Structure 1
């Protein structure tokens, strides 16, 4: 497939730090590459604030127009979300397609969504983004048209009739409500069964899917591209002690994610909020990893998931050129491709959980096999020994503060005391 020649325009606002601006420019360049674009040039401008009519100032506008002609540019991508008026004015002035950061991200999501739920979520976000911008988008509106910013999971050509779009939005919301109910039922069932849930979160392309695959022996998509994973996967694994957990791989986070996308993916992101423990995967080799960590923590706060116990996994240690200083604790520095590091990771998870949980010590008669098995799969057993003299099993371990087995352990302790 022939790559489209792309020119990126980016405005550095007066309130923005150099680091944040540079990282966001690098990010939109990577996003453009992920979407199938060939970034030929990046034009930046320093302004106190974005021009309310044309995004960049008049002089820069003319400079960009000249570069479009000279470099045979087919698409202009703005590094911020454009208002309907700005989008219309830029389209008219340049005479070629113009899209913004949000549209680019939505386009990538549209090409990545594989499940029906994911496709519906992306289509909803696209329609809600599109509705106020209908008059400024021209040929971009064609679902069946080619090029970045025109892809979508829908089966039919997107009409420019607002009533049609509103009807479609209502229809998708109704269908997604059923999906949300289904997810809630799954979550309730998991809670009833007291299955411990670990969600892998982190910035896009930090290596979450690689770690997920190594721990679960799965083959989820691993690519050196932003948003390689869109639809969440959940698999059951056993930690070294025998403790059984559900591990979920989630969609990557990003600076300035479109609000419509966060809203559309609410049911998917609930998987994060409902987790008992988080693995925050960070690309330790990325020069902007501090900014990325802050973005992830901000999104976790927005999801009300920032108080969930967490282990920060500084991944890609094999690419580090100098000593690494961690920003968050507890943490582990590792390479997802190193088998020893994989073993260290699961041991570290148990170590962190032990610090969070209650310690217990219990003696069980051989006829208490069912309780012994439950303790083996729902708690972290650190010692299990058969005492021949007393014909009993002595167990020590750690148990979550709120767990049905807590009462059984205490009840058994009282029996032993008598």
Structure 2
């Protein structure tokens, strides 16, 4: 198996084991610990050693991992990579149970900019965090991944909506609650059905559960990731936006560590993966919150050193880009239509929806050249709106150099997205060049 093929298999495994942000973080932590990284607690004093790797998790769904370099951070700066752990999905409401026409359903809330139509007629399961009291009365939590299909959102037959293929509006409140089964209870108020089911599931998994108190659960498609195409040129999966970037950043960080075993890196390298990007990042664990800045300030030691460190630092914000669609090519600017398997995309927006500027674009293109990988540019059509990333937030909060890049993909924010088998690998090679070679100037 080639290095690229092994990389893609690792990406597929990561996507499959990460149905929720909490699962993604847990999977990354396992890989970090296997590589010798040590856990840090934000409530304790840190005693950091040069050359050692560390990780911190906040809220169970956001992660910062870094390898401390041999040089003081005020002299070398920090080589940072950023991504986000969340994806648009359907989240279960606190009082979710619904009885309609003899069917048990769960009410859901749309999280992020979901492309709704693809969610219909899919085999859905549940995953996320469950908070419960154990038999001793202590409040604790556990990850839940049901794995098997337990729900479906059935489409309305075309015979009952002859205009479905022309104009089919979806009302999230009325049309999206998944069906879990027939109502088998005699109770007209099924308000505890979900919590009782979750308690039973957790007990079977070995947890001591007296009462389920709350949860953060999302539905997901059980269809596994796959290589697609006559030559398997594509990767098709849920949550490529943006777990592809989380995996690629982590792989780059650990790959450089392996290469530097006999000669530790002089500069500190860091990966941040935030939750809540899809809803604006305004939370204690989102990019708008203080998580990354608080870690960086603790690394620097004092304000003077912090300012010197940031002046020598750079963040590569990795979030997937819109590949040109062969059936909708007119949705792209004619000179800025990224192609799949043609390299990572440098994302530019004059209105600062992306944080890229000419300096950081030139720097990233030089990393691609060093790694001998192609790169592309994306600028949205002048008559269309533009999405955003954690890049502008990091640039504003930290005053650090930022470039926004990403692997090109189709079907962004669908329940199933498509990217190329080469592009994540290309991006990872460029990130490794950044970590290994950039001198902070």
TM-score by length of structure 2 reads 0.28
Greater C-alpha Rg: 1
Instruction: Select the structure that is richer in strand.
Output: 2
Q: Which has the higher contact order (CA 8 A, sep 6+)?
A: 2
Instruction: Select the structure that is richer in helix.
Output: 1
TM-score by length of structure 1 reads 0.30
